[in-house]
Homo-oligomer: A and B are copies of this chain.
Amino acid sequence: MPPRKPPTMQDIARKVGVSPMTVSRALRDGTSVNAQTREAIRQAVDQLGYVFDSTAANLRNQRTGFVAVTIPSINNANFAATVRGLSEGLREHGLQPLLGYTDYDIEQEEVLVEQLLRRRPEAIVVTGGQHTPRCRRLLQGAGIPVVETWDLPEDPIDHVVGFSNADAARMLVDHLAATGRTRVAFIGGDTDRDSRGTDRREGFIAAMKRHGLEANRLIGAGMPPLSMREGAMAMRILLQQAPDTEAIICVSDLVAFGALTECQRAGIDVPGQMAIAGFGNYEISAICVPSLTTVDPFSEEIGTRTAATVIAAIAGEVGSPVISRIEPQVCVRESSEG
């Protein structure tokens, strides 16, 4: 591919014999430009292979059409669903997400946020409510709408679209307790890198106490993000350390599925001897045998609502910060039948 310079509006204008201004007008509204001129311009564009340069327009208009988005990982069906909902909502309004990955690390988030802000996005969406002090300052001082998602921060920066991860865990404890299970374990990460995972663990502990049950079966299954492999390994450890466990709540469906497979290999009946619950309502939970009880956080809905919030905020239609609370829902399935 020859790296020759692409044609500009100047080139089109010269070829057609009009001013660049007329080309500019013809390429956008099309109205208020003579029909013949317009057609001539269209042809010149085709012949020269002209492609509009939005970097120049962005500078002139002081609008980029970007919405910066940070997510912990791209390889996560829940966050992917949120991004899908968000992208679709934004596209309808001519906005484009500018995506970055933090790898579950708030230090990296800080670097990323600064990088993204340089691109002059019109709004920024971040995952979670935990940030480094400088990151908070950057977000607050950016002069654009900020949306924190997947969480309900105590002290929000601006807008919020999220849910209580602790509550989600509580709902599962309530459900398992209602089916008569008392010796319940929790499998999660063994660091606080994934703050949503940590919140679920804390919610588990609090809920167990409320039921008068001991929350002493906590398995740390490695550094987040955890997946199936870690779930299987954690279940192996649990079966050794506390073989009388009756039920287990996992930080995600992937971990839960890994735990389930380990039960299958060990000949332990699910849900007869062991109930299992996950989080996230991944497709696998509905399909696997036995199907897995889980909590649906409505990941795509988070994205859809975030898009709506961003659009309203950019349009200046919101006076005070929007706090949009999602209510997760328990999906009871075969793995916890009582």
What 8 A-B pairs come out closest when comparing CB atoms? A49-B141, A75-B80, A54-B118, A228-B287, A264-B289, A74-B80, A51-B117, A52-B118
Number of interface residues of A (CB under 8 A): 63
Inter-chain CA distance A115–B53, complex, in Å, is: 10
Inter-chain CA distance A158–B2, complex, in Å, is: 11
Interface residue from B3, B75, B288 paired with A84 (Cβ < 8 Å) = B75
Show 8 A/B contacts (Cβ-Cβ < 8 Å), sorted by A: A3-B144, A51-B118, A54-B119, A55-B59, A74-B80, A75-B81, A96-B115, A99-B99
Within 8 A of B (CB), among A34-90: 49, 51-56, 58-59, 64, 74-75, 77, 80-81, 83-84, 87
Q: Does A142 lie within 8 Å of B1, measured CB to CB? A: yes
Q: Does A55 lie within 8 Å of B283, measured CB to CB? A: no
- Shortest distance in angstroms between A320's beta carbon and chain B's nearest beta carbon? 11
Instruction: Please indicate the chain B residues that have their CB under 8 angstroms from the CB of A4 in the complex.
Output: 143
A98 at the interface (CB under 8 A from B): yes
Q: Does B49 lie within 8 Å of A137, measured CB to CB? A: yes
A129 at the interface (CB under 8 A from B): no
Q: Does A2 lie within 8 Å of B284, measured CB to CB? A: no
Inter-chain CA distance A19–B74, complex, in Å, is: 43
